[in-house]
Structure 1
């Protein structure tokens, strides 16, 4: 005797139970993606917020897939989860496009003046070259320090297998990025001294990336090199810094 069709309510309960089981099964993937993203985000972004957004993306992926198993589903779910997280970040409006533009412009001007003067330019010199007042320039830099700008385009630039871009792989590896180990004044002072000893091009690449929030493409344009060359400069700089800071 064939089973009679389940009442609609019972069917919904069964479907929901199956969905909940799949969500629990794939929840660790959401956390992994969130942890990978948050390592490049300002301190005011909460991991739990990313995870919550990612769970929505996971639920959407499960509802759109007939077979929520295997590498094909994982690749699809990764895209949906990461997309939901990035949508949440954009909706939060924690990045000011105008502030980002001004900050990058300041970086380009500062680099140009450094080449002309043979030294690090004064804030007043950069402001004058930009055609703005010193107070306005200081506001731009203060906002940059507070926000710790990060490009969403760079954050989302995973390769086809869900891994980070070459530069992000360096950042994701605690052993590869000595900047992660700076936790007190003495270590910071040692790092500053170590950076000052780097070759000029490597020092410039670090400065443009960390201090002026420039993308690899923008750094390459300023230095007159390719994106891959910028990655190479970063890698060389990190290697030198690891050696210099190995006792820390």
Structure 2
């Protein structure tokens, strides 16, 4: 972007899109907290605004949607509960059930599927239960065909403040987490490349990224809390979490710093 003001305007006018896409994705992937998706999407929106080139002729809304949905997909893959073996079992079981259903003209029972597969009924019941938990792909047209402008004024009112807190929260992350967040969401580097640079496994990078997102979520919850201090989502120790909040306060302006220090004193 040609100026910071233009970048900020793009972020402010499109942040409601993050909330919409987070809600839409959460409705199909309920095992991932909506707030965590919103935090991931907000980071993706900021990086989209940084990288956007209007001369390419692509509307920013469409460009941002792609970046946000891509960030959601990365987050969902990093939190995927199903191993390759489980997914294979799900696919085979569903295929047999569908074939029997087509032949019978009615939904096949778990017992009938188990008989056809030559496995115990409880294995089929478990596989079909797992199938109900699998995620709808983000490549579906319904995931992309979202209006560029969504009238959610109650969210837009806090856009600038949320962005400011988020920027301070990213800057205060522990060094390795901050490096990973910046590399993934700002520089768009592959996780494999980041892992090689840090000398750790792909899984370790994904775990650190997920923990960083939880810390960012806790920071936003702490700042915007009304009443009792919100429960922590992060897995770090309470002392490390409070030290993180202190770093945010130390690096932020008086308004943000005051909110974190007041909540810490409660």
So what's the TM-score if we normalise by structure 1? 0.47
TM-score by length of 2: 0.45
Higher Rg: 1
Q: Which has the higher contact order (CA 8 A, sep 6+)?
A: 2
